[in-house]
Every structure is written in C-alpha cells, then in structure tokens.
Chains A and B, each alone.
Chain A
Amino acid sequence: DTAVSQTPKYLVTQMGNDKSIKCEQNLGHDTMYWYKQDSKKFLKIMFSYNNKELIINETVPNRFSPKSPDKAHLNLHINSLELGDSAVYFCASSRGTVATYEQYFGPGTRLTVT
C-alpha cells in the first residue's frame, strides 16, 4: 500500500494554463505539506495543513492555492502557469506539527511548463 500518493506523476502543460495536483495519505496523519524542488534539487516548503487548517504559508505566489477537503487529502491548484513553475512538487505528511515527527514523502509530480 502506498502511504503518500500523488497524481499525476508527470504533468506537461503550456504557459497560462491552470492545473491541479492531488495528494492522498493513508497513514492517518493530521498534517500534510507541499514542497517544491527546483532543477538544482533545492527543496522548499510551500504550505502546511493541520487537520484541514492552513498553518504554514510560505512566500508563494497567489496563483498557488492549496485545498484540504479532509485530513487525508491535500490538493494544489496552480493558476496561470509560468515557465518558472516547472519543478518537482512533493506532498508529505506527518503525525502532527511537532518538530520531531518524521515526514513521509510522496513520489513527486514533475511539472513541465512550456
């Protein structure tokens, strides 16, 4: 059983389009995250939700909007895609917001904007 799953795995789209990435975890965790990994492998947090409530919102363009319909799901919608949005997006989850809790990562979604 996949603990943290993301769909799609690959996403190729043109500038200006709107796209969504879905994430689901079956670990019973309360906290979920979105990370962006750029072409140099640098990994940076974008958002974090705890029990469907937004708790971390880094400096991310308003074009990015996360939505958590329930504790097990955290989706990422991106409007008006730009070339610079090309990256690998990782979803992760943890038991809670305590700093020592391990984060479990999904396999990533490679977004290519042309």
Chain B
Amino acid sequence: AQSVTQLGSHVSVSEGALVLLRCNYSSSVPPYLFWYVQYPNQGLQLLLKYTSAATLVKGINGFEAEFKKSETSFHLTKPSAHMSDAAEYFCAVTGSNFGNEKLTFGTGTRLTIIP
C-alpha cells in the first residue's frame, strides 16, 4: 500500500521568493512519485514525475523536486514564485503492482502568491 502526506494545506509566499511544498511518502514497493497542479476550476496537470531514474527531477514552469529515499520525501521547489503559480498542488504516489497500479493522492497544498 502507498500513501503520501503533504505538510501544510496552505502555503503563502511573496512573488519572487522560493516556493517549497512538502511531500512525504510511504510505500511497500519502490515508489513512483508525481506532482500535479490544479488551477481554479480546471483538471489536474502533471508538473513532474520520479520514476527511479535521476533523483532530481525537473518539470514544467520552472519547478523541480528531489527524491530522497532516506527521508522518504519528494518536496517540490521553485526558486522564484510567479503570480501564475497560485494553484492547488497535489503529490501522488504509485508503485509497480502487476498491472493494478493506481495513483494515491495527498490532500493537496494551496499555494498563494503575495504581490
């Protein structure tokens, strides 16, 4: 079984400041980890994913995340926040389960950008 915990349901940062959204995972099999973004009244869009290759993963819109097995973490960062980054961010985990893979999502973190 897999699960993810997102610390902080709301995060506010100033425009131009570092964005850090936290995600810790639990998995009984080697995990695959994802970050999705949901803009208001829209569906989810993939930001980036970790699939056991490089531990530092770069995604769209300047976001990146680092897989740290020792800390069971997959935190999302962006060096400089932009107003357009305001959205809900979801961490998700899955693992190879013989064709029955399913994504398990965290509870989400709402990112607010302060002008």
Contacts and interface: CB of A to CB of B under 8 A. Distances in A.
A99 B95 contact: yes
B51 interface: yes
A33 to B, nearest CB: 8
Interface residues of A, number: 23
Interface string B27-47: 000001000101001111110
Interface residues of B, number: 27
A92 B42 CA distance: 13
Interface string A28-51: 000000000000111111001000
B49 interface: yes
B107 A40 contact: yes
Contacts of B41: 107-108
B102 A103 contact: no
A55 interface: yes
B97 interface: yes
29 contacts: A4-B43, A41-B38, A41-B107, A41-B108, A42-B105, A42-B107, A43-B105, A43-B108, A44-B105, A48-B102, A56-B100, A56-B102, A58-B102, A92-B44, A97-B99, A97-B101, A98-B101, A99-B101, A100-B32, A100-B49, A102-B46, A103-B103, A105-B43, A105-B44, A105-B45, A106-B43, A107-B41, A107-B42, A108-B41
